Amino acid sequence: MSKLVTIYGGSGFVGRYIARRLAKDGWRIRVAVRNPNEAMFVKPYGAVGQVEPVFCNIRDDASVRSVMTGADAVVNCVGVLDEVGKNTFEAVQAEGAERIARIAAEQGVDAMVQISAIGADAEADSDYAKTKAAGEDGVLRHMPNAMILRPSIIFGMEDGFFNRFAGMSRFGPVLPVVGAETKFQPVYVDDVAKAAVMGVNGDAHGVYELGGPDVHTFRELMQQMLEIVRRRRLILNIPFWMARVMAFGFSVVRFLSLGLVRGPLTADQVKNLAVDNVVSEGAKGFDDLDIAPTAMEAVLPDYLWRFRPSGQYDAIKESAKNLKV
């Protein structure tokens, strides 16, 4: 019988790519999510019954244990960029990650992969970064041979980074950003999935920082995005002090609306944007896994074209201009 892997958060941005690759390799897959009915799109990744969405709340021991029973490997992709209700950074990224590792150790699971993030640091100003580090520590305490993956900002068809700013570029002549000079090393989502599969198969363990072939400032990334969507916009850098004031204002509105209105920026995100998000010198990475990272230029046009003024017809219109009458 083929091996079984449980992927917590397996229908998310990164998780679905890991699930697809493992399905092709013949693994049976449980995609553990809060809303299985919204994860049905993963079922066609494999043969009938090979990939199954199941309910799980990683804040609960019994729930985590029930979907792990019989698993040969586990992957934890669950993370939050903004705290909502009981899904706090501490509950999800620290306690949740350690809970999965502890139960995996109890059940004798062979391999575990934890998706963390570059910048995970117990001494960081950001609660997001602190709890990512706490999650890593908890995982390694119970599963010392686990693979920890720390990607920089991740890009791909369903990403929340380039898609978000490309969408914003459609409105008005200005594109506001916080931390325009902060450096990033964008990494392709399927390259992260390749690395995770190696951990699931037991071919690699330890901590790996994953970044693409190029390092760019936030401003440079936005310039490249604007070139692809063929829009001319002024990139306006919002000073950090102003961003903190804005984040506070958004938090007040959120509180007064009982959480119904969520602003585009939080104080914790401002703290993250003040720190470069690139692979550390001397860290293990793609080279150690024999993976050649994919350049942004090879992927971004494949999904950002829909943000062009004329969408899929934009290239046709440009070609028509060159026709001789």
287 against 254, higher pLDDT: 287
User: Of 228, 165, 161, 145, which is closest to residue 14 (Cα–Cα)?
Assistant: 161
Which token pair is 121? 């640091």
Least confident of 175-179, 237-241, 257-261: 257-261
Confidence of residue 2 (pLDDT cuts 50, 70, 90): confident
pLDDT of residue 96: 96
Q: Are 77 and 54 in contact (CB under 8 A)?
A: no
The answer, yes or no, to whether residue 273 has pLDDT greater than 60, is yes
Q: What pLDDT, on the 0 to 100 scale, is given for residue 85?
A: 87
Mean pLDDT of all residues in 254-258: 86
The model's pLDDT over 190-210, given as tens digits with 9 standing for 90+, comes to 999 999 999 999 999 999 999
| Both tokens assigned to 292 | 């050649």
Residue 305: closest CA among 166, 141, 190, 132: 166
pLDDT at 83: 87
Residue 323, pLDDT > 70, answer: no
Both structure tokens of 163:
């898609």
Q: How high is the mean pLDDT of the chain?
A: 94
Biggest CA-to-CA distance, the chain = 75
Res. 220: pLDDT tops 70: yes
Give me the mean pLDDT over the 104-129 stretch. Answer: 96
CA–CA gap between residue 320 and residue 317 (Å, rounded):
5
**pLDDT for 255:** 85
Is the pLDDT at 32 greater than 90? The verdict is yes
The full set of domains in the chain, from first to last, is 4-156+186-213+277-293 (3.40.50.720)
Evaluate if residue 293 carries a pLDDT over 60.
Answer: yes
Q: Using the predicted structure, report yes or no on whether residue 316 has a pLDDT greater than 70.
A: no
Q: What is the mean pLDDT of residues 260-284?
A: 93
**What's the pLDDT score for residue 318?**
63
pLDDT score recorded for residue 258: 81
What's the pLDDT tens digit per position in 158-172? 999 999 999 999 999
Q: pLDDT at residue 301 above 90?
A: yes
Confidence check: pLDDT of 237 > 90:
yes
Residue with tokens 């993976």: 291
Q: DSSP string of 242-307?
A: HHHHHHHHHHHHHHHTTTSS--S--HHHHHHHTS-BSPPTT---HHHHT--PPPGGGTHHHHHGGG
Instruction: Categorize the per-residue pLDDT at 310 as very low, low, confident or very high, splitting at 50, 70 and 90.
Output: confident
pLDDT band at 319 (very low <50, low <70, confident <90, very high): low
